[in-house]
Amino acid sequence: MSGVRTLVVWCPDWPVVAAGLSDRPAAVLAAGRVVACSAIARAEGVARGLRRRQAEARCPRLVVVDRDPAAEARAFETVVVAVEAFTPHVEIVRPGLCAVATRGPSRYFGGDGALVARVAEAVDAALPPGAPACRVGVADGPFAAERAARRGLVVPAGESAAFLSGFGVSTLGNVDLADLLVRLGVRTLGQLAELPAPAVLARFGPQGGAAHRLARGLDERPLVARAAPLDLAVTAELDPPADRLETAAFVAKGLADRLHEALGARGLSATRVLVEAEWEDGERLGRRWRLDGAGGRTAGALAERVRWQLDGWMTGAGAGADRPSGGLTLLRLVPEEVGPDDGRQQGFWGGDRAAAERAARALARVQGMLGPDAVVVAVPAGGRSPAEQVRLVPWGEPPPPVPGPARPWPGRIPAPSPATVHPVPAPAEVTGARVSVAGGPWSAVAAWAGPWPVDERWWDVATHRRQARWQVVTADGTAHLLSQHADRWEVEATYD
Amino acid sequence: MAAERRLPVLPALGGLFPAGGLKRGSVVAVTGSTSLALSVLAAASAQGSWCAAVGLPALGLAAAAELGVALERFPLVPSPSREAGAGGWAWVVATLVDAFDVVLARPPAHVKAADARRLTARARERGAVLVVAGGGWPERAEVQLTVTSAGWEGLGQGHGRLRGRRVEVVAGGRGAAARERRVALWLPHPDGDVREVVDERRAHARRVVS
């Protein structure tokens, strides 16, 4: 499946624009190195990665400021509002970069090209004076679309793999993986895409598999990244309402931790989160943030983004008429898209993380050899028979919604459960006090109990099932769970 | 690999292993009971080890969870030979032995002696424990556990339910484990855990004396 058609808006030099310095020779520093500079500074030789002193040596008039991600996010709000005029589903990847799925809006505005022109015009109008013009691109999937945006291109549907093939592997944003690939002679995404998928998965693990998918112009995780199947949204009501950012941010931190914990308990992490807020004047605002790539998917990264968003709304640098009045009364975080936790977040199942990664890599090799369904993991579920009390899920997929084990299940076979549950029940014969399993010899029944009756789905003729289960111990001390359906007997499980 | 040389076992099973636990790099063969095979790895799994099961499509996972196995750290490859042919089983076991603390595996009908030797050596080198279930293992395992008799309690003539089972386990093996030991176990006890059977008359006598 190729990636979802995506439009990306990229505002170049965003840290400089947000600092209001784009009309001067200016550079923004983080950890002592230049992370962004204005066009004027670039013309004088300033580049990303330089130390402060090197940059100042090249451009003596350079204005240097420290990076302020909160201010960047606050200023970016105006751009998001401009893009939101085209479609309500705007995802913020990071301040300076946002994405929308083009399917609906492109059809409405007459094609990808027309949409790109309109979005670019609207965003440029929203940018502060002196800022470099935004670049807009469309391609299959957010990864290819970001590359397309940097070049201001519309890549036709299905041609993203060809478009990406010329880029170096460092574009993947995974420094360790890129380094390893280059040392092995794989320099471009095109070369990576030519390798067979199972081999890449076996050699480089889940992260290599994801990179390989990106290089082929596919979604990073088509099988598994999907709408969150469970209602895992977390909500906090604020009484009294919070009108200071610090108070709201404190609540946000607690919510982010709760969400992270709830997902982590299921082996998941969120890749896209909707931040929703309600205000005293009844205004409801919502914004989507993507949690992928370098930012990581830690609870801290999520809390930071929620804080930026609240800052954008509450300080209202550019929200204009939308700016809510009064305090924040409700904050909700909705994980809209989840993926398996592949170790990019901390505290994986509370165990030794190195062991978990080693295990995941070995299982990926087995899946590469035998197919993804060959490796499964059991999820406890509710049900009456031993076979129904667990669901087998392919390793790496998020667990499906299952009926809870805590609900009452009348007719449930009590513990201890049988250690052998036949995937296909073996036929049995029962006469009087003797039982024969799968055509085997007759043996006397020493003890028995039952029936545990089952009358399931009586409201549906097609799936209605009526049967009775019996526990039987034979003379040799073996215990079986037999089921009786009309006149037929089967051995469902053996207590061995 | 973690530094400790032994993985924990349930207290009731301590007497079956000469080291009092699962020695890393060893092979344990269990015959006669699937629940005994699950009990062998239950304590290690509960305390954070990664365990895996290969070639056991009929494994009762509700029973595994009741014995204490952490299902989220217990991935399964139920049918390794279906896709990869006869050699698939040995390849999958070898791959998992590289990465897991305990691998529970049921060998196919005619496992080659050479495969068995190679897997034994691999487990020793990697410090993993290979638990072979269901017999048919051509090598002599370090520890060999066999259930010789079993009797269920709680079930009557048309009433009651299965509650607890007494089994007799005979332990043998190589080296320090060569001396034969017999242990009577509740597998499981009516309260749900695994316990040694305490002879009630003797326990009563001891109470009277003290």
Is the pLDDT reported for residue A347 higher than 50? no
Q: Residue B56: closest CA among chain A residues belongs to which residue?
A: A420
The per-residue pLDDT for range A353-373, each reduced to its tens digit, is 678 778 888 888 888 788 878
Q: Find out whether A376 and B75 touch, Cβ atoms under 8 Å.
A: yes
Calculate how close chain A gets to B38, using CA atoms only, in Å: 8
Predicted confidence at residue B210, as pLDDT, reads 47
For residues B10 and B180, what is the distance between their CA atoms, to the nearest angstrom?
A: 20
| Chain B residues inside the 8 Å CB shell of A355 | 2, 48-50, 101
Lowest mean pLDDT across A3-7, A37-41, A194-198, B3-7: B3-7
Which residues lie below 8 Å from residue A126, measured CB to CB, with a gap of 6+? A78, A79, A81, A82, A318
What stretch of H or E contains A162?
Answer: helix A160-164
Q: Find out whether A400 and A393 touch, Cβ atoms under 8 Å.
A: yes
- Residues for chain B: how many in total? 210
A387 or B86: which carries more pLDDT confidence? Answer: A387
Across the interface, whether the CB atoms of B59 and A421 are under 8 A apart is answered: yes
Across the interface, whether the CB atoms of B72 and A495 are under 8 A apart is answered: no
Task: Name the one residue in this structure whose structure tokens are 């076992």.
Answer: B9
Predicted confidence at residue B200, as pLDDT, reads 61
Q: Residue B39: closest CA among chain A residues belongs to which residue?
A: A419
Q: Residue A445: closest CA among chain B residues belongs to which residue?
A: B157
The per-residue pLDDT for range A282-321, each reduced to its tens digit, is 888 888 888 865 456 678 888 888 888 888 888 765 445 5
Predicted confidence at residue B202, as pLDDT, reads 56
Tokens, residue A481: 């769970």
Q: Residue B160: closest CA among chain A residues belongs to which residue?
A: A449
| Chain B residues inside the 8 Å CB shell of A390 | 61-62, 65, 71
Is the pLDDT reported for residue A9 higher than 70? yes
Tokens, residue A295: 């930012």
What stretch of H or E contains B73?
Answer: none
| Chain A residues inside the 8 Å CB shell of B193 | none
Q: Find out whether B154 and B162 touch, Cβ atoms under 8 Å.
A: yes
Across the interface, whether the CB atoms of A495 and B57 are under 8 A apart is answered: no
Of B38, B49, B92, the CB nearest to A419: B38
Across the interface, whether the CB atoms of B77 and A496 are under 8 A apart is answered: no
What stretch of H or E contains A73?
Answer: helix A69-84
Task: Tell me which DSSP letter residue A349 carries.
Answer: G
Calculate how close chain B gets to A415, using CA atoms only, in Å: 8
Quick one: pLDDT band at residue A494, thresholds 50, 70, 90? very high
A471 phi and psi angles, rounded to 5 deg: -95, 130
A271 CB-contact burial (10 Å; exposed 0-12 / middle 13-18 / buried 19+): buried
Across the interface, whether the CB atoms of A362 and B96 are under 8 A apart is answered: yes
List chain B residues with pLDDT less than 50.
1-3, 210
Quick one: pLDDT band at residue A346, thresholds 50, 70, 90? very low
Across the interface, whether the CB atoms of A390 and B65 are under 8 A apart is answered: yes
* Average pLDDT score over chain B: 88
| Chain A residues inside the 8 Å CB shell of B65 | 378, 380, 390
Q: Find out whether A4 and A46 touch, Cβ atoms under 8 Å.
A: no
For residues A355 and A359, what is the distance between their CA atoms, to the nearest angstrom?
A: 6
SS3 at position A371: coil
Q: Residue B151: closest CA among chain A residues belongs to which residue?
A: A477
Q: Which domains does chain A have, with CATH numbers?
A: 20-67 (3.40.1170.60), 229-340 (3.30.1490.100), 375-405 (no CATH), 420-495 (no CATH)
Of B60, B152, B192, the CB nearest to A477: B152
Q: Find out whether B101 and B50 touch, Cβ atoms under 8 Å.
A: yes
Calculate how close chain A gets to B156, using CA atoms only, in Å: 5
* Average pLDDT score over chain A: 83
Predicted confidence at residue A230, as pLDDT, reads 57
Which residues lie below 8 Å from residue B111, measured CB to CB, with a gap of 6+? B89, B90, B136, B137, B138
For residues A302 and A398, what is the distance between their CA atoms, to the nearest angstrom?
A: 20
Which of A212-216's residues contact partners 24+ apart within 8 Å by CB, and which partners?
A214/A141, A214/A143, A214/A144, A214/A164, A214/A172, A214/A189, A215/A161, A215/A164, A215/A165, A215/A169, A215/A172, A215/A189, A215/A190, A216/A161
Calculate how close chain A gets to B177, using CA atoms only, in Å: 25
Across the interface, whether the CB atoms of A386 and B48 are under 8 A apart is answered: no
Please give the average per-residue pLDDT across A132-153, as a whole number. Answer: 90
Predicted confidence at residue A342, as pLDDT, reads 54
| Chain A residues inside the 8 Å CB shell of B57 | 423
Calculate how close chain A gets to B120, using CA atoms only, in Å: 18
Is the pLDDT reported for residue A99 higher than 70? yes
Q: Residue B59: closest CA among chain A residues belongs to which residue?
A: A420
Across the interface, whether the CB atoms of B161 and A414 are under 8 A apart is answered: yes
Lowest mean pLDDT across A116-130, A202-216, A478-492, B96-110: A202-216
A225 or A450: which carries more pLDDT confidence? Answer: A450
Across the interface, whether the CB atoms of A390 and B62 are under 8 A apart is answered: yes
Task: Tell me which DSSP letter residue A373 carries.
Answer: G
Calculate how close chain A gets to B198, using CA atoms only, in Å: 21
A187 CB-contact burial (10 Å; exposed 0-12 / middle 13-18 / buried 19+): middle
Across the interface, whether the CB atoms of B75 and A417 are under 8 A apart is answered: no
| Chain B residues inside the 8 Å CB shell of A267 | 72
Q: Which of A399, A349, A392 is nearest to A373 (CA)?
A: A392
Predicted confidence at residue B111, as pLDDT, reads 86
Of B33, B78, B88, the CB nearest to A376: B78
Q: Residue A399: closest CA among chain B residues belongs to which residue?
A: B72
Predicted confidence at residue B2, as pLDDT, reads 44
Q: Please list, residue by residue across A222-241, b when 16 or more beta carbons sit within 10 angstroms of its beta carbon and e when fewer do.
A: eebbeebebebbbebebeeb
Across the interface, whether the CB atoms of A449 and B72 are under 8 A apart is answered: no
For residues A76 and A465, what is the distance between their CA atoms, to the nearest angstrom?
A: 58
Quick one: pLDDT band at residue A221, thresholds 50, 70, 90? low
The per-residue pLDDT for range A23-51, each reduced to its tens digit, is 889 999 988 889 999 999 999 889 888 89
The percent of residues above 70 in pLDDT, for chain A, comes to 89
The per-residue pLDDT for range B56-97, each reduced to its tens digit, is 999 999 999 999 999 989 999 998 876 556 678 999 999 999
For residues A416 and A22, what is the distance between their CA atoms, to the nearest angstrom?
A: 71
Q: Residue A374: closest CA among chain B residues belongs to which residue?
A: B77
Is the pLDDT reported for residue A225 higher than 70? no
Is the pLDDT reported for residue A153 higher than 60? yes
The per-residue pLDDT for range B123-135, each reduced to its tens digit, is 999 999 999 998 8
Across the interface, whether the CB atoms of A419 and B59 are under 8 A apart is answered: yes
* Domain B6-209 falls under CATH 3.40.50.2300: no
| Chain A residues inside the 8 Å CB shell of B46 | none
Interface test with B, best of A376, A417, A430, A435 (most B CBs within 10 A): A417
Across the interface, whether the CB atoms of A420 and B60 are under 8 A apart is answered: yes
Q: Residue B189: closest CA among chain A residues belongs to which residue?
A: A416
| Chain A residues inside the 8 Å CB shell of B150 | 477-478
For residues A252 and B46, what is the distance between their CA atoms, to the nearest angstrom?
A: 34
Is the pLDDT reported for residue A441 higher than 50? yes
Please give the average per-residue pLDDT across A389-397, as a whole number. Answer: 84
